[in-house]
């Protein structure tokens, strides 16, 4: 179980910019880096376009996602999780919770396009818990 997700302020700004650009559609990105026992450190953020261009759902193009995973793998990076923005509070929606089952123990970083709050969550086989965000310069 991960308790801390580390991001840089630069990565966070990039994610917020992307969400503003795609609004009202949901923005999405894949997060890679290093996984430790209780921490995940993001070193690479890859924005993927939301093929649904919808304000309530996101879906990335499977071929694009495959290529992004392959490249990160070549770079020796581990998959940490997914980022998306949605026009609701910064916690998983019912749809998100359903999709979480497809993504194993990936961390879900969620930005509310309503109030700009951001929070991270992880679903393990035991429960769904919030992951503390640590943003460093």
Answer for which of 2, 6, 86, 123 binds Zn ion (CB under 5 A) is 86
**Which lies closer to Zn ion via its Cβ, residue 6 or residue 86?**
86
**Which lies closer to Zn ion via its Cβ, residue 2 or residue 96?**
96
DSSP string, 35-92: E-SSEEEEEEEEEE-BTT--SS---B-HHHHHHHHHHHHHTTPEEEEEEEEESS-SS-
Nearest residue to the partner Zn ion, using Cβ: 86
Encoding tokens for residue 125? Answer: 């086989």
Q: Least distance from C-beta 58 to Zn ion, angstroms?
A: 7
Encoding tokens for residue 74? Answer: 């070549």
Q: Least distance from C-beta 92 to Zn ion, angstroms?
A: 6
Q: Least distance from C-beta 119 to Zn ion, angstroms?
A: 11
Residues noted as catalytic: 26
Give CA–CA dist 2/66, Å, rounded: 24
Binding residues for Zn ion (CB under 5 A): 86, 93, 96
């Amino acid at each position: 179980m991960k308790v801390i997700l580390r991001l840089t302020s630069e990565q966070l700004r990039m994610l917020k910019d992307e969400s503003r650009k795609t609004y009202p559609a949901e923005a999405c990105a894949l997060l890679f880096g290093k996984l430790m026992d209780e921490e995940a450190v993001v070193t690479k953020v890859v924005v993927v376009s939301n093929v649904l261009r919808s304000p309530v759902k996101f879906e990335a193009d499977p071929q694009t996602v495959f290529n992004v995973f392959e490249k990160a793998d070549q770079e020796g990076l581990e998959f940490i999780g997914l980022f998306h923005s949605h026009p609701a509070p910064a916690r998983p929606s019912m749809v998100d919770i359903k999709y979480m089952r497809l993504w194993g123990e990936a961390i879900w970083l969620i930005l509310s396009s309503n109030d700009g709050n951001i929070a991270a969550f992880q679903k393990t086989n035991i429960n769904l818990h919030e992951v503390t965000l640590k943003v460093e310069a």
